[in-house]
Amino acid sequence: MTTQPDERTVDLAIGGMTCASCAARVEKKLNRLDGVTASVNFATERAHVTAPPTITVADLVATVEKTGYTAAPASTENAADESRPLRTRLLVSAALSVPVLVLSMAPPLQFRYWQWVVLVLATPVALWGAWPFHKAAWTNLRHRATTMDTLVSLGVLAAYVWSLWALFLGDAGEPGMRMHFSFVASGADEIYLEVVAAVTTFLLAGRYAEARAKRRSGAALRALLDLGAKDVAVLRDGAEVRIPIGQVAVGDRFVVRPGEKVATDGEVVEGSSAIDASLVTGESVPVEVGPGDAVIGATVNAGGRLIVRATRVGADTQLAQMARLVEQAQQGKAEVQRLADRVSAVFVPGVLVLAAITFGAWLATGSAAHDAFTAAVAVLIIACPCALGLATPTALMVGTGRGAQLGILIKGPEMLENTRRVNTVVLDKTGTVTTGAMAVHDVVADDPESVLRAAGAVEAASEHPIGAAIAATARARIGQLPGVDRFESLAGLGVRGVVDGRTVAVGRPGLLDVSANDDLTNAVEAAEAAGRTPVLVAIDEVVCGVIVVGDTVQPTSAEAVRRLRELGLHPVLLTGDNERAARAVATQVGIDDVVAEVLPSEKVDEVKRLQDAGRVVAMVGDGVNDAAALATADLGIAMGTGTDVAIEASDLTLLRSDLRAAVDAIRLARATLRTIKGNLGWAFGYNVAALPLAAAGVLNPLIAGAAMAASSVFVVTNSVRLRRFH
């Protein structure tokens, strides 16, 4: 959903929804508002709304309330645990239902007037135990709508009223008259109190288990939101003052003692320590940090005392951004779920019609009234649109939540299908296959110090990793560097500027020609043969040196490439570096297909070339120059250690600088998609098979109630299995 400049998005917490039909009604009502586009998720009980400025939040809330539900701006505080009130109702109903079933199903235990005892026990279950179903059905009826609760309430009340008629007006109430089990034909005065009690208890048990499982499916997101520190010790005039985290401002300096959480994103200004980021990024090995290093809020200080300057607070922190991405992903709908939603919207009216047809058909064929009634009630009770509504969102909730725990952010459900179809993965070299931590290995020149000084001064204005390595080495060896004038970045080739009145150009061999200097030519060839990058330096248009810069291959990249192949993916190494350097890295990690010496704009062309050849392409990268290729690829995977632009352009974001995370991301996305399809297959298959069986009289209402409850529970618990993904 693309938001126009004059639109805003609002997330509402919706209360009172009991099935997918409810969500479909709320969504339909909201979308009828002029200029409003809404998506309502039954599993998360959230509405994601895009509305023009003329539509206020109050208007949206009022629309939802007119539909028969409650609404409020969404927050973590209004995510209530629905299972607690259900538990009490379930326990009481179960305690009353057990003796009802025992007396009904065991004739030797029956005594004079036993059916009246059963009536006394079953009545609280029918009226109080099933009250949530009756209340929701009545609320929807007042708005001329039907939901899953309509079917349940009708089935329970019909069986109860029929039983009352048989007891008080028929012969079932006569002393000594046996009450038969509901699927045994025993005369026109058959009573169904055991159906009333058992079905209500089964459905309460199912709804309780469903609520528990739904809460477990959202546990990862709640845990993510709870990771942050609650207060922080800031420095005020040299003294520590502990304040709530919400009062921290950008620029504040705060203290992080050993074992404490880093309060917010910041930069270390004093001290050194090891930071455990496993809870945020999934990275198991603590990272050493010191002055100048960035730290992420909610990570844990595992070593010494640190003083950190806050750089991002509140909604701007990485933790908050992670939570937003996960929430947005959970609110989205895959195309296959939209089909399920359309089916759910007409499901309940269809079942009501089917139940009426079933009753009439049985009577028309000469069957007894109680047999027709039994089949109709079974149809009402066995139908389960809830499973259809829960199939995708519960799997998505668990999958995205588990991904967040592993340092993998899935942006939305739409990209899940792409992970299944992908057969080629394009890997950017620097910062993806390699560490991206470039270092100067050698300076070949008649005057190495002056060459390094000039190159370092120009590269100090560059953001490229190679330039940063040259500038850092120059500062370390020479000290303070001179300023640069008229700095110019030449995309994919190098940089140029004026240092101390002299024009200095620093770049790849394609920018500068060294063919006239045998020593420098040999240095370039030797560097490329070793898999390193030669950077040429020209002063006043005369090439006077070669700086040899080297990156190191990630120790886990070879394993990651092997695992990508096991997933059926063909790896391609894509880099702006020279062919020989790229081949050297590719050989180390086991990649045969290499595309080297490409400019940033040409990365998009390479992705398109593969797509034109019939490949479905995933792109893994981390830099600004990868953003366009990430957006062009069928599946964009951004390393979270990279730039915000790359992350924004991607479908999956990896918070670990480990290529194995890309493998895990694809595996998790595929596992989530398999779970969604399995859930939908079960939900559709169950209803297609169960409704005709119930209409044919094969399934009695007791079995129907148990099957209906089990259907929703199966879908949710099947999704919860994703929590064990590793």
**What CA–CA distance (Å, rounded) separates 505 from 585?**
27
pLDDT at 278 over 60: yes
Instruction: Please report whether residue 387 resides in a domain.
Output: yes
Give pLDDT tens digits for 108-136: 887 877 888 999 999 999 999 999 889 88
Same domain for 94 and 203, yes or no, is: yes
Instruction: Please report whether residue 98 resides in a domain.
Output: yes
User: Which residues lie below 8 Å from residue 525, measured CB to CB, with a gap of 6+?
Assistant: none
DSSP, collapsed to helix, strand or coil, labels residue 393 as helix
Binned at pLDDT 50, 70 and 90, residue 170 comes out as: low
Residue 636 has phi, psi (to 5 degrees) of -100, 130
Same domain for 246 and 292, yes or no, is: yes
Last residue of a domain, one of 550, 581, 612: 550
Give the pLDDT of residue 332: 59
Give the pLDDT of residue 594: 93
Yes or no: say if 432 and 417 are a contact pair by the CB < 8 Å rule.
no
Task: Select which of 189, 252, 341, 428 is catalytic.
Answer: 428
Binned at pLDDT 50, 70 and 90, residue 345 comes out as: low
**What CA–CA distance (Å, rounded) separates 679 from 392?**
7
- Residue with more model confidence, 72 or 42: 72
The sign of the torsion formed by the CA atoms of 668, 670, 675, 679 equals positive
Cβ neighbour number for residue 383 with a 10 Å cutoff: 27
**Kind of pairing, strands 652-654 and 408-410?**
antiparallel
Last residue of a domain, one of 25, 52, 78: 78
- CA distances to 20, 42, 46, 134, 149 from 16, in Å: 12, 10, 11, 13, 11
Same domain for 67 and 39, yes or no, is: yes
Same domain for 333 and 192, yes or no, is: yes
Report the CATH number that the domain containing residue 46 is assigned in CATH: 3.30.70.100
Instruction: Please report whether residue 317 resides in a domain.
Output: no
Give the pLDDT of residue 234: 93
User: Which residues lie below 8 Å from residue 150, measured CB to CB, with a gap of 6+?
Assistant: 137, 140, 141, 348, 352
Report the CATH number that the domain containing residue 526 is assigned in CATH: 3.40.1110.10
**Catalytic-residue membership of 428:** yes
Same domain for 39 and 95, yes or no, is: no
User: Which residues lie below 8 Å from residue 585, measured CB to CB, with a gap of 6+?
Assistant: 429, 433, 434, 531, 551, 553, 573, 575
Same domain for 536 and 558, yes or no, is: no
Question: What does pTM read for this prediction?
Answer: 0.65
Give pLDDT tens digits for 444-474: 998 899 999 999 999 888 777 788 889 988 9
Give the pLDDT of residue 317: 81
Instruction: Please report whether residue 582 resides in a domain.
Output: yes
Give the pLDDT of residue 184: 33
pLDDT at 60 over 80: yes
Give the pLDDT of residue 186: 36
User: Which residues lie below 8 Å from residue 315, measured CB to CB, with a gap of 6+?
Assistant: 324
Number of domains in the chain: 5
- Identity of the residue numbered 252: D
Give pLDDT tens digits for 541-576: 888 999 998 877 888 999 999 999 999 999 999 987
Instruction: Please report whether residue 659 resides in a domain.
Output: no
Same domain for 368 and 286, yes or no, is: no
DSSP, collapsed to helix, strand or coil, labels residue 559 as helix
pLDDT at 331 over 70: no
DSSP, collapsed to helix, strand or coil, labels residue 595 as strand
pLDDT at 601 over 50: yes
pLDDT at 631 over 70: yes
Same domain for 98 and 201, yes or no, is: yes
**What CA–CA distance (Å, rounded) separates 679 from 397?**
14
Same domain for 423 and 481, yes or no, is: no
Instruction: Please report whether residue 300 resides in a domain.
Output: yes
Full domain range(s) for residue 57: 8-78
**What CA–CA distance (Å, rounded) separates 528 from 539?**
23
Range of lowest pLDDT (253-257, 319-323, 399-403): 319-323
Q: Name residue, tokens 């009753």.
A: 359
Give the pLDDT of residue 230: 84
The region, left, alpha or beta by phi > 0 then psi within -120 to 50, assigned to residue 165 is: alpha
Same domain for 281 and 386, yes or no, is: no
Instruction: Please report whether residue 670 resides in a domain.
Output: no
First to last CA, the chain: 31
Give pLDDT tens digits for 637-671: 887 654 455 556 677 888 777 899 899 999 998 99
Give pLDDT tens digits for 365-374: 998 888 898 8
Range of lowest pLDDT (245-259, 307-321, 334-348, 555-569): 334-348
Average pLDDT of the chain, as a whole number: 81
Instruction: Please report whether residue 411 resides in a domain.
Output: no
**Kind of pairing, strands 570-574 and 424-428?**
parallel
Give pLDDT tens digits for 194-217: 888 888 888 788 778 767 766 665
Give the pLDDT of residue 600: 67
Same domain for 207 and 332, yes or no, is: yes
- Residue with more model confidence, 402 or 573: 573
Report the CATH number that the domain containing residue 585 is assigned in CATH: 3.40.50.1000
Same domain for 206 and 333, yes or no, is: yes
Report the CATH number that the domain containing residue 249 is assigned in CATH: 2.70.150.10
**The tokens of 145 are what?**
């709508």
Last residue of a domain, one of 550, 581, 598: 550
- Provide DSSP, 100-167: HHHHHH-GGG--TTHHHHHHHHHHHIIIIITHHHHHHHHHHHHTT---HHHHHHHHHHHHHHHHHHHH
